[in-house]
């Protein structure tokens, strides 16, 4: 979340930020209103406390003189009751202030391109030439079903729509990609963690999924949420902790299954693996010094790109505009892979710098080397490295052959028992 004092003292900047994002300024006005009410109540409490203290001193002096203090005692009792009532109101307003502040999105970095929708996003660079096919390229779901590696019908029978069963070599491919990605990122200097797939409300709030996106999340009657991304448990590893500056940067890689309701996406990418309610993802998370966070964002992006380069999948890097920026992000790049069957690009990774937005919500700080300096909020970053299901989509479509087989890129072969191709099972 944003710093309370900053929002209070710079409403014009926050209002402009909301306008750039296409957000209603009502959330800001609500914050300013409840914050002022809270401060007014505090201003009313202070003189009451002073008056009670003065009466208490008078009671002490009068008792020493043997004078009657009943009237003073009664007045102190009434003032104390009023103070208690107002302090209760202050407590309620403090809750409302925090709730309002949690609803205000991050302020976009000055380098984020202006715009209202994804149509205004800017292509930063492209890698690889889209392949020219001598035949009509097929959709990934047709390829997968023909090879017998993914079963959508049985998944629907088991769980409903937007689920998949990876079968035989499909399961091997999914597991192989996960391990391949992790191994590449370990060589890049990340440390692996394997976190829980269920997290509490505090963890979801810290990374910005709650309260705004609660309806998009799966949760249990134990008030635990299924993780929408490994960003949530990994970022919360250091919640309420103070790191040393010498420990920064911390670079972590994690695999988790991810769970999202995909509310509001009815009719969009309903076939195949594009928009599943359960999917696998390898995530990169960084905890860095504020002065280095934008340099770390660029290296994070390059680390995710390396996976696509090794798999020989054409892609482009897109800088998201202000209107398409995620709630918690100050700046975000998307990686988009080429889909020959549809002649369009598909997002496969988002790499974001949240600056101190998540760290402030999670209370993650660091102690500067100079001992006299106060602790500071660090910056958090994360990016998909990559979404496994969408990587499979890109692999099947870009490396499909006319005979129905799919070539396996050389770096991936050791993870698939040395196989060069995925082929139809012989009947």
* Residue 244 CB neighbours (<10 A): 10
Q: Active site residue: 175, 239, 275, 306, which one?
A: 275
Tell me: the pLDDT tens digits for 142-186?
A: 999 999 999 999 999 999 999 999 999 999 999 999 999 999 999
Q: Active site residue: 260, 360, 361, 365, which one?
A: 260
β-partners of residue 191 are: 252
Per-residue pLDDT, 425: 75
Query: What is the β-pairing status of strands 250-259 and 191-193?
Result: parallel
Q: Active site residue: 169, 251, 390, 397, which one?
A: 390
CATH class of the domain defined by 118-422 = alpha beta
pLDDT band at 76 (very low <50, low <70, confident <90, very high): confident
Q: Active site residue: 16, 312, 347, 423, which one?
A: 347
Q: Higher confidence at residue 345 or residue 49?
A: 345
Q: How far apart are CA 336 and CA 181, in angstroms?
A: 17
Q: Is the pLDDT of residue 388 over 90?
A: yes
**Which residues, at least 6 apart from 244, have a Cβ–Cβ distance to it below 8 Å?**
366, 367
257 backbone dihedrals φ, ψ, rounded to 5°:
-75, 150
What Cα–Cα distance (Å) separates residue 402 from each residue in 144, 343, 360, 390, 406? 14, 18, 53, 22, 9
Structure tokens that stand for 217 in this block: 């999340």
Domain ranges of the chain: 4-102, 118-422
Per-residue pLDDT, 88: 94
Tell me: the pLDDT tens digits for 253-287?
A: 999 999 999 755 555 667 899 999 999 999 999 99
Per-residue pLDDT, 372: 67
Summary mean pLDDT of the chain: 95
Per-residue pLDDT, 308: 98
Query: Is 347 part of the annotated catalytic residue set?
Result: yes
Report, as an integer, the average pLDDT of 195-215: 96
pLDDT band at 421 (very low <50, low <70, confident <90, very high): very high
Per-residue pLDDT, 336: 98
Q: How far apart are CA 55 and CA 63, in angstroms?
A: 12
Q: How far apart are CA 91 and CA 396, in angstroms?
A: 57
Q: Active site residue: 17, 293, 349, 350, which one?
A: 350
Tell me: the pLDDT tens digits for 298-357?
A: 999 999 999 999 999 999 999 999 999 999 999 999 999 999 999 999 999 999 999 999
Tell me: the pLDDT tens digits for 344-366?
A: 999 999 999 999 999 999 999 99
pLDDT band at 67 (very low <50, low <70, confident <90, very high): confident
* CATH code 1.20.140.10 for 4-102: no
Query: Is 390 part of the annotated catalytic residue set?
Result: yes
**Nearest Cα to Cα of residue 397 among 311, 293, 294, 298:** 311
% of the chain residues with pLDDT over 90? 89
Q: Is the pLDDT of residue 426 over 70?
A: no
**Which residues, at least 6 apart from 322, have a Cβ–Cβ distance to it below 8 Å?**
20, 21, 22, 108, 112, 113, 114, 115
């Amino acid at each position: 979340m944003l710093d309370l004092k900053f929002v209070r003292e710079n409403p014009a900047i926050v209002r402009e930020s909301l306008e750039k994002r296409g957000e209603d300024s009502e959330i800001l006005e609500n914050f300013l209103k409840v914050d002022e009410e809270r401060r007014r109540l505090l201003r009313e409490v202070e003189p009451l406390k002073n008056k009670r203290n003065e009466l208490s001193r008078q009671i002490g002096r009068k008792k020493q003189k043997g004078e009657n203090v009943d009237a003073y005692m009664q007045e102190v009792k009434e003032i104390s009751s009023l103070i208690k009532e107002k302090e209760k109101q202050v407590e309620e307003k403090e809750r409302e202030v925090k709730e309002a502040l949690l609803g205000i999105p991050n302020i976009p970095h000055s380098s984020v391109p202006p715009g209202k929708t994804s149509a205004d996003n800017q292509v930063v660079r492209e890698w690889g030439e889209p392949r020219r096919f001598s035949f009509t390229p097929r959709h990934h779901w047709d390829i997968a079903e023909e090879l017998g590696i993914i079963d959508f019908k049985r998944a629907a029978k088991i769980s409903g729509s937007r689920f998949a069963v990876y079968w035989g070599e499909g399961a091997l491919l999914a597991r192989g990609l996960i391990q391949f990605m992790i191994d590449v990122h370990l060589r890049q200097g990340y440390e692996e963690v394997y976190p829980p797939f269920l997290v509490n409300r505090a963890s979801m709030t810290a990374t910005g999924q709650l309260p705004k996106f609660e309806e998009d999340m799966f949760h249990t009657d134990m008030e635990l949420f299924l993780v929408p991304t490994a960003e949530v448990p990994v970022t919360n590893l250091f919640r309420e902790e103070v790191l040393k500056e010498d420990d920064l940067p911390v670079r972590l890689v994690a695999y988790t299954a991810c769970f999202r309701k995909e509310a509001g996406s009815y009719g969009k990418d309903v076939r195949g693996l594009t928009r599943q309610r359960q999917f696998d993802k390898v995530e990169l998370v960084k905890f860095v010094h504020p002065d280095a966070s934008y340099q770390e964002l660029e290296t994070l992006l390059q680390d995710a790109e390396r996976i696509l380069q090794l798999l020989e999948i054409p892609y482009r890097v897109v800088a998201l505009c202000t209107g398409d920026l995620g709630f918690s992000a100050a700046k975000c790049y998307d990686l988009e892979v080429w889909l020959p069957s549809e002649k369009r690009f598909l997002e496969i990774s988002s790499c974001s710098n949240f600056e101190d937005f998540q760290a402030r919500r999670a209370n993650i700080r660091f102690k500067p080397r100079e001992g006299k300096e106060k602790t500071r909020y660090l910056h958090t970053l994360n990016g998909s490295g990559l979404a496994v299901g969408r990587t499979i989509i890109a692999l099947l479509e870009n490396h499909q052959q006319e005979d129905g087989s799919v070539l396996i890129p050389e770096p991936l072969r050791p993870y698939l028992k040395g196989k060069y191709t995925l082929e139809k099972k012989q009947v």
